[in-house]
């Protein structure tokens, strides 16, 4: 059995698993009911507003893009933006979804001798995160490129991140919470804001 078939079979098998009951603690706070209603209304308005914008963009974008192209051809220069009715600006960017190298021949057939002008190969190389904590593997890499060349070949950024133990224990231990508070007050350890969701 090929790997593709194996993955499909595993997905079908796992798809029938029953949803486990939530272990999230339930709290009842009638004093928060008004704020919850406002949050729910805001969420609905946000969804409705987004749907309205998407629908309007479906009408505006193709028309504005046609006009942008016409003006660019007439002026003989690329205009990346147009202002519509003095109210909204429609902009294009030189950003495209990644194109797999398996499409190179197809692209070459379409653009011909303009390929080198219109397309370039982009390569990103990164180390697997597991290698970064493997001293033996990192030692071999440094040895292979030479310590003097390491900074020339690799861009290194380091940071500290709280562990799951710190995150959980700041909720369950007064001592750890006080440590967190001290670091938070100094602007060093700043957790993301808690999310509200339905």
- pLDDT tens for 110-166 read 999 999 999 998 888 788 888 888 888 888 888 898 888 888 888 888 788 898 998
**C-alpha distances in angstroms, 136 versus 40, 129, 130, 139, 158?**
53, 14, 12, 5, 19
Residues in CB range of 177: below 8 A, 6 or more apart:
170, 171
Task: Indicate the domain borders of the chain.
Answer: 32-118, 125-157, 159-189
H/E run at residue 83: strand 81-84
Checking if the pLDDT of 6 tops 80, the result is no
Of 28 and 2, the structure prediction assigns the larger pLDDT to 28
Angle at 155 between CA 151 and CA 156, to 5 degrees: 95
pLDDT digits (tens, 9 = 90+) for 40-85: 999 999 999 999 999 999 999 999 999 999 999 999 999 999 999 9
pLDDT value of position 123:
83
- Please, how many CA atoms are within 13 Å of residue 83, restricted to the half-sphere of its CB? 3
Contact of 189 with 180, CB cutoff 8 Å:
yes
pTM for this prediction: 0.53
pLDDT value of position 47:
92
């Amino acid at each position: 059995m090929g790997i593709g078939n194996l993955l499909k079979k595993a997905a079908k098998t796992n798809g029938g698993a029953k949803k486990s009951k939530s272990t999230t603690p339930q709290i009842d706070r009638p004093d928060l009911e008004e704020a919850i209603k406002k949050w729910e209304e805001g969420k609905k308005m946000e969804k409705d507003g987004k749907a309205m914008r998407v629908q309007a963009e479906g009408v505006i974008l193709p028309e504005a893009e046609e006009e942008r192209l016409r003006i660019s051809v007439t002026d003989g220069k690329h205009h990346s933006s147009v202002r519509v009715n003095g109210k909204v600006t429609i902009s294009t960017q030189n950003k495209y979804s990644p194109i797999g190298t398996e499409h190179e021949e197809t692209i070459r057939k379409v653009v011909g001798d303009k390929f080198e002008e219109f397309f370039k190969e982009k390569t990103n190389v990164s180390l697997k995160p597991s290698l970064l904590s493997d001293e033996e593997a990192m030692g071999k890499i440094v040895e292979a490129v030479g310590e003097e060349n390491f900074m020339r070949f690799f861009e290194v950024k380091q940071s500290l991140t709280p562990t799951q133990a710190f995150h959980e224990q700041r909720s369950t231990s007064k001592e750890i919470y006080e440590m967190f508070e001290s670091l938070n007050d100094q602007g060093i350890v700043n957790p993301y804001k808690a999310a509200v969701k339905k």
